[in-house]
Structure 1
């Protein structure tokens, strides 16, 4: 009874996380009720909406109010956009939706980033104060919220993008609004993907809401297989290597050799893939067991042969969202836009002020002047400049979406630069269309190395950590003791090797394994689940290991 009380009451010590037994007890209880009511569509949707709200409450406490606020705002705005025939009113409404959602996101996620940047640029000492918490305490006449800091609500980036897509899709005529607030709330808050994605597009999920539940044998097989696969990715290929090697190195890179730091970065690429891909695999599997289809979010990203190919395979729901709702509206690969130039001017001005270097003051205006002159005399140059500006801005903003820090902006910028360089290289490369195995191997290797070692800006806690990592790699590789590192942490490296081998298996082999699982009788499926469960929890530590993408 105490266990059930912990599961069904709010406690920061007992969040509902996919890798904890509490979640699976919770899911078994809500699935039992779901099985009794699933044929009644309105009741089913209302039930799943309330369950999802409870799930978020268990994860984030009173921040559930922000989720409810976003749900109410976009439900009524979407309905009014659809009903209006006035073009100006429709634009005002969709702009209001985008601005309100982004303001809420910026307040909670970027308050410190903007404040610290302002203090640095203008030598002020402004401190962050949580005005929403202050007003909430005053309204309730109780001290419910801390006013001296702003805490980031879990999953706010994901459900904010979903509500924006709903309003924009209605404005574009791609979608009709939902009639019931319960149905819309269900779309926004569906608990498997609520806190860490994948980002669900309104035009793909909303049509499923009013369809009868239909769970085929194939859905059951695929769903359970995805869940087991996700648990292995998360608990073995992510958490195990992080706890037993990666975290130790990244916490104090100067205490380890350059070789250990390099191996930690290679391991981190597996960790972040296992963590995020594992989460979305579980989310997709849970949704299938309830008759809903979530979008595929990963497609063997480390098989990519270029940076562009990588971003078509990694976090697909975010990449396509940024393409459709940011890159194309900015002008895409056709032209520049006023928004492109304004955003670019702000970023360049910030860089110039931030560096405060005379060379920067000359270089940036010089590049801008050359670009303007080239664009004036050559339409081809103008198109290339505009296309690459839009691409770079999309990646810079995508980097900032991942974290409120300049190191994430740098990470996004490096990936944007990789995309731009590849665009020009593929036109000149004599091997671009080669099918030779070594050429393919070389492309995959170079792409993997680039993606892996730009992630130092993603993983490190500060720029100081990054500098120490670079120092060790540049000055203290210590090849003489490399074998000792491999032997001492041999279990970690065996798990890393197994993780990468399974990732690089041919797709046909993976499909064969999935079909083999699907054709197995139920007792064998139960046996597989038992083995996976025991293996994962044996490797798991009692320490709480949150999903990396919860912070985004």
Structure 2
């Protein structure tokens, strides 16, 4: 069931109405049933996998809560890790490693064992709910969190439908206490949640899905579009498409949870305003980057070790992050690029400071900030090529052709190329461009909740005229073909 589908438009109001109409003791059961129905609407059989993860991790956490030392708890930690990571390996990575091993054996002229490929569909959201559950288990093992004794409450923590399939990846210490509270109907809170859902829907159907009409033909057939200008425009379009798509999903998830009385952590904070790549990762997919920081990077030693090992830790974390996104070399290269960006950024920090002093930029922090934002945006946009490309060869082709034909371009040729573009994609690009501008302006002025406070402070009539305007933009400019969210494939 997609947030941008008629199915969800019917499902969600029914759940909300029943939720606030039922006695508090029955609400958890309602949300658990609704969450499993939500998940089973894709493929009912994979609900068994979700249930198996829940059972193993509930049992592991419960048994660890009865043991006083980490050494005694360790077998149950291993049980959970093997179960969760083994599930990910079988469904997501087995065929990738099998194919890679076969190709390597052939390249070295070695005999390759005929291991059959698995014909399994990747369960929706498996990477998200397994990481959320693993985070809970590690917190219990470390003694940072008390194990949840109520099985239904733990099952709801793993399966809660607003963030089940694409996050944010929540922590047990943040969500489990919320499931214990009684949430009363709060008009202002419900309206705030619906407003956030509407804004997320705008970013999805007006911005992301319209940009996809241009991005997909170019990235799916890059050799038919070898012009550098076309490839640059497609790369820039995807940069905003993936932000509109993923942050739009997150806004809708946070809004749906808010309507029901729950708070999710912020997952995006104007990432394209970052003045460095480390700052970008403090603003982009915050729940995943903080998960890797707390459960992988810091246990590896983080930055407390020798510089060479710290750099290795960074590269390892981002290679794993790339592999988490998909079993493809394109994602590994994307993760490796960001790891390299962070290593260079950390290593070159003293040199950057000296350069700023020599060039006078140190005395102009605003100009330095702007330059940092521009450079970071270019680096991030370039890395998105590998993330979006269907194969490594396509990504290399696009990278090599980004500068193709620029020297021969003059004003007339640019105008001709843009005219041809506008004729082929004329409504989509114009409307998507309008949506991108509106999205960036609203989110820029909405920093630090100032826009939310301003909206709340307006008279009732003014607020609802604004809501009606946003609804009309969605209805008239949106694409309603139930296009899946990009991160559902992960």
Q: TM-score of the superposition, structure 2-length normalised?
A: 0.90
Tell me if 1:59 matches 2:42. yes
- Residue-by-residue CA offset, 1:64-83 (whole Å, 9 max, x unaligned): 11000000100011000011
Q: How far off is 1:475 after superposition?
A: 3.0
- Residue-by-residue CA offset, 1:486-522 (whole Å, 9 max, x unaligned): 3414551563365256426675555443234323455
Structure 1 pair 542–213 and aligned structure 2 pair: CA distance change class (3 A) = closer
Structure 1 pair 509–298 and aligned structure 2 pair: CA distance change class (3 A) = closer
- Residue-by-residue CA offset, 1:41-64 (whole Å, 9 max, x unaligned): x42111101110010000232111
- Residue-by-residue CA offset, 1:366-397 (whole Å, 9 max, x unaligned): xxxxxxxxxxxxxxxxx101111111100100
Structure 1 pair 509–285 and aligned structure 2 pair: CA distance change class (3 A) = closer
Question: Mapping of 1:125-204 within 5 angstroms?
Answer: 126=114, 128-130=116-118, 149-204=119-174
Distance (whole Å) between structure 2 residues aligned to residue 525 and residue 18 of structure 1:
24
Q: Which moved more, 1:259-268 or 1:436-445?
A: 436-445
| 2:299 counterpart SS class | helix
Find 2:262's aligned residue among 288, 292, 309. 292
Q: Which moved more, 1:200-209 or 1:493-502?
A: 493-502
Question: Mapping of 1:394-413 within 5 angstroms?
Answer: 394-413=317-336
CA contact (8 A) 2:4 2:482 kept: no
Structure 1 pair 274–126 and aligned structure 2 pair: CA distance change class (3 A) = farther
Tell me if 1:420 matches 2:343. yes
- 2:289 aligned partner: 319
Q: How far off is 1:100 after superposition?
A: 1.1
Distance (whole Å) between structure 2 residues aligned to residue 60 and residue 500 of structure 1:
37
CA contact (8 A) 2:4 2:480 kept: no
CA contact (8 A) 1:226 1:282 kept: yes
- 1:499 aligned partner: 436
Question: Mapping of 1:258-277 within 5 angstroms?
Answer: 258-277=228-247
Find 1:439's aligned residue among 352, 364, 368. 368
Structure 1 pair 158–506 and aligned structure 2 pair: CA distance change class (3 A) = closer
| 1:479 counterpart SS class | coil
- Residue-by-residue CA offset, 1:294-339 (whole Å, 9 max, x unaligned): 110000000000000000000000000000000011111113xxxx
Find 1:213's aligned residue among 170, 173, 183. 183
Distance (whole Å) between structure 1 residues aligned to residue 247 and residue 183 of structure 2:
26
CA contact (8 A) 2:31 2:160 kept: yes
CA contact (8 A) 2:210 2:431 kept: no
Distance (whole Å) between structure 2 residues aligned to residue 92 and residue 70 of structure 1:
17
- 1:10 aligned partner: none
Q: TM-score of the superposition, structure 1-length normalised?
A: 0.81
- Residue-by-residue CA offset, 1:140-184 (whole Å, 9 max, x unaligned): xxxxxxxxx111000000000011111111111111122221111
Tell me if 1:32 matches 2:24. no
Distance (whole Å) between structure 2 residues aligned to residue 101 and residue 301 of structure 1:
30
Q: How far off is 1:284 after superposition?
A: 0.3
Tell me if 1:462 matches 2:391. yes
Q: How far off is 1:236 after superposition?
A: 1.3
Distance (whole Å) between structure 1 residues aligned to residue 369 and residue 189 of structure 2:
35
- How many positions carry a matched residue from both structures? 469
Distance (whole Å) between structure 2 residues aligned to residue 197 and residue 433 of structure 1:
39
Structure 1 gap ranges (5+): 1-15, 131-148, 336-382
Distance (whole Å) between structure 1 residues aligned to residue 464 and residue 446 of structure 2:
22
| 2:42 counterpart SS class | helix
- Residue-by-residue CA offset, 1:427-478 (whole Å, 9 max, x unaligned): 2223386553221111000000000011111000012212332343243346
Tell me if 1:246 matches 2:176. no
Distance (whole Å) between structure 2 residues aligned to residue 300 and residue 508 of structure 1:
11
| 1:330 counterpart SS class | coil
Structure 1 pair 125–473 and aligned structure 2 pair: CA distance change class (3 A) = farther
Find 1:330's aligned residue among 300, 306, 312. 300
| 2:348 counterpart SS class | helix
CA contact (8 A) 2:192 2:255 kept: yes
- 2:414 aligned partner: 482
CA contact (8 A) 1:81 1:90 kept: yes
Distance (whole Å) between structure 1 residues aligned to residue 364 and residue 192 of structure 2:
33
Structure 2 gap ranges (5+): 107-111
- Residue-by-residue CA offset, 1:338-383 (whole Å, 9 max, x unaligned): xxxxxxxxxxxxxxxxxxxxxxxxxxxxxxxxxxxxxxxxxxxxx1
- 2:311 aligned partner: 388
Distance (whole Å) between structure 1 residues aligned to residue 11 and residue 430 of structure 2:
35
Q: How far off is 1:24 after superposition?
A: 1.3
- 2:109 aligned partner: none
Structure 1 pair 194–433 and aligned structure 2 pair: CA distance change class (3 A) = farther
Distance (whole Å) between structure 1 residues aligned to residue 409 and residue 192 of structure 2:
45
Question: Mapping of 1:357-372 within 5 angstroms?
Answer: none
- Structure number with the bigger relative contact order (C-alpha 8 A, sep ≥ 6) is 2
Q: How far off is 1:235 after superposition?
A: 1.0
| 1:212 counterpart SS class | coil
Distance (whole Å) between structure 2 residues aligned to residue 119 and residue 495 of structure 1:
43
Structure 1 pair 219–435 and aligned structure 2 pair: CA distance change class (3 A) = farther
| 1:429 counterpart SS class | helix
Distance (whole Å) between structure 2 residues aligned to residue 527 and residue 500 of structure 1:
21
Structure 1 pair 18–485 and aligned structure 2 pair: CA distance change class (3 A) = farther
Q: Which moved more, 1:522-531 or 1:278-287?
A: 522-531
Distance (whole Å) between structure 1 residues aligned to residue 479 and residue 439 of structure 2:
23
